[in-house]
Structure 1
Amino acid sequence: MSYLQFRLADYRFRPGLAGTILMLICIPLFIKFGFWQYHKAEQKQMLQEMYDQALLAEPLALPLVFEDMQRWRYRQVKVLGTYRPQYQILLDNQVAQERAGYHVITPLQIGASGKYVLVNRGWVPANADRSVLPVIETPAGDQEIVGQLWLPSDKFYSLEQKQVAEADAPWQTVWQNMDMARFQQSAPIEVLPLVIRLDAGSAAGGYLREWPRPAERITTHIGYALQWFGFAAAALLIWIFTSFRRQENK
């Protein structure tokens, strides 16, 4: 202890102007990024809790108008309607059972209304020759749909070009992303801006349905937050260490 006191006596705390300015910029910025990641983790945790609670709730009748879409995220719903496969799409790059394939997404006309909702009927394997699409069988007549609501993200990058479906020809194509805006512009039907993931126990024309619990990356965000807070602490320690200067003896 006396040695440290002796050594410290030879130094004086004299922070430089440039280092101080850099510290005053970096530390608040690192702390801001840390809290940003921490708040994202909190938001993801809330979504996980919503998901878990929704699985325990009884299915609700699907409304035709949504005042707050977020309140319906992950909700269990039921609806009666008829499949319209002429505007069906195959969502590419879906993996199940260690195989590549597609999710079959088919519009469902809701009762006698003119509105539609997209139903994710599950996973089908892709052929070795990707130019040959799988044959999709769709049941006719009224179908009772029970499933969980999914709000597709609009945050993705795609090189696909929007295309308008022809009214006089079947329309089945492969999409890289579930782009709701593109679908609403391409298909000449009024579609609700959400997708129903068909329940695994439903007999309404479903394929393989192993819906995963949403990977919300809560621990990842917490790790990033701790990393940014660590950067702030390291910047402070570096500034303190470099601000001590040896005092010359006269």
Structure 2
Amino acid sequence: MTRWRRPAWWSVLLTVGAAALFVRLGVWQLHRADYKEALLRRYAAAAEAPPVPLRQVAATPPQDAFPRVAVEGRYLADRVYLLDNPRHDARGGVEAYVPLALPGDARLLLVDLGFLPGSGDERTPQLPPLPQGELRLHGLYLPPPGTGLELGGDALASQTRWPKTSIYLDLAQVAKDLGRPLYPRVLALDADPAAVYQRAHMFDFSAMPPARHRAYAFQWFGFAVAVLAIFAVLHRRRGPRRTDDR
């Protein structure tokens, strides 16, 4: 027969608190998964939407939305930046960015040209020449890639030759390097089969996609069940063992 020992008040409080915390974390992960799925749906819808003039959304872009815009300007073709941390395939490669000068505007718009695959070695891929003169471009007005801890500080300031390379794209560093202000987002150009660059842009959830949030939620709920199970095991009292008299 199994009997229960009366638990100490602190053990009850600790168990309930831990289980509640794990459940709350699991629910939060589920909410994050739903939020990111909604962002992905809006992203997919934006790629098919008709473009609006950049000036309508440039300075104050709508939060959690990705407008498709049209803009005219000319590339500063000698000021290319390469983001060398994306890995779209086994060969590596770089994501290329170039500032776009808009007529009568001191601010520059950083344009994401797309991904240029590498050749499997450590050399920077050969960049194709950029078109000259006034251009009309279309694409999604997206938040810049995420930044992180860059050891050694501003990598752009120490480079004297172009294109400049960094493992993170910090718009503040780029603006300082160019000596001109930038718009708060980047223009990710529409896909173009004729372009050398791969432009299958995707909103960056590679580090934490919705499915991973749900996996973490399941893990947190499992921790909550484990805490209650451990509490039950530690506070049960078994009856004396029966022995056979011979």
Deviation at 1:160, TM superposition (A): 4.7
- Give unpaired runs (5+ residues) of structure 2: 241-246
Q: Is the 8 A contact 1:13 1:243 kept in 2?
A: yes
The yes-or-no answer on 1:80 pairing with 2:76 is: no
* Percent pairwise identity: 28
Matched with 2:172 is 181
Which structure shows the higher strand fraction? Answer: 1
Between the aligned partners of 2:234 and 2:137, the Cα distance in structure 1 is 67
What pairs with 1:74-113 in structure 2 (closer than 5 Å)?
74-96=66-88, 98-113=90-105
Instruction: Find out whether 1:61 has 2:53 as its counterpart.
Output: yes
SS of corresponding position for 1:197: strand
How many residues align structurally? 237
**Structure 1 unmatched ranges of 5 or more:** 1-6
Check the 8 A contact 1:41/1:219 in 2, yes or no: yes
**8 Å Cα contact 1:48-1:214 kept in structure 2:** no
- The answer to whether the 8 Å contact 2:147/2:168 transfers is no
Q: How far did 1:105 drift?
A: 0.5
Deviations 1:130-180 (A, max 9, x none): 4666244111101111111221244422225324499xx864211111211
Structure 1 residue 159 corresponds to structure 2 residue 116: no
Aligned to 1:200: 191
Equivalent positions of 1:1-250 (< 5 A) are 7-8=1-2, 11-63=3-55, 65-71=58-64, 73-96=65-88, 98-126=90-118, 130=122, 134-162=126-154, 163-164=156-157, 171-201=162-192, 207-212=197-202, 214-215=204-205, 217-246=209-238
Structure-1-length-normalised TM-score: 0.81
Deviation at 1:127, TM superposition (A): 6.0
CA change 1:125–1:153 in 2 (3 A) is closer
Q: Is the 8 A contact 2:116 2:125 kept in 1?
A: no
Partner of 1:80, secondary structure, is strand
After superposition, the CA RMSD in angstroms is 2.9
2:148 is matched by which residue type in structure 1? F
Cα 1:160–1:229 change in 2 (3 A) is same
Deviations 1:98-118 (A, max 9, x none): 322111100001123222111
* Distance apart, 1:208 and its partner CA: 2.9
Give me the whole-angstrom Cα distance separating, in 1, the residues matched to 2:43 and 2:230. 44
Contact 1:127 1:134 in 2 (8 A): no
Higher percent of residues as helix: 1
